[in-house]
Amino acid sequence: MPTSTAGKRFIKMKLLQEKARRNKLPIFYLNMVGGQDELVFDGQSLAVDRNGDLIALGKQFEEDLIITDIDLRDGIAKKVEPPAYCREEEMFNAIVLGIRDYFRKNRV
């Protein structure tokens, strides 16, 4: 059965925001999408500017292309708002992705 940490995006964002502020550098975090054995990779790549502000956020449990503009001289970009969070929807999508990938990889 696939496993997931509900609300992981908040943990990732907080960690990256703290690192960006401390080092005064933008951070771009890339994550794969898919199920592998008992793990489910949720995608939802993201970027924060040097102030730790969220400037890009990919879709969760889907492949996505994210484009953002950032001023490389000052490391700042336009902020974005994350979509509303629903724990039940996140857990459902993780289970669906994990089971779908299992069947695809095992040709069942």
* CA 56 to chain CA mean position, Å: 10
CATH architecture entry for 8-105: 4-Layer Sandwich (3.60)
Question: Per-domain residue ranges for the chain?
Answer: 8-105
Q: pLDDT (tens digit, 9 = 90+) per residue, 18-50?
A: 999 999 999 999 999 998 888 899 999 999 999
Q: pLDDT (tens digit, 9 = 90+) per residue, 57-105?
A: 999 999 999 999 999 889 899 999 999 999 999 999 999 999 999 999 8
Q: How far apart are CA 69 and CA 67, in angstroms?
A: 7
Contact 3, 40 (CB under 8 A): yes
Q: Is the pTM of this model over 0.85?
A: no
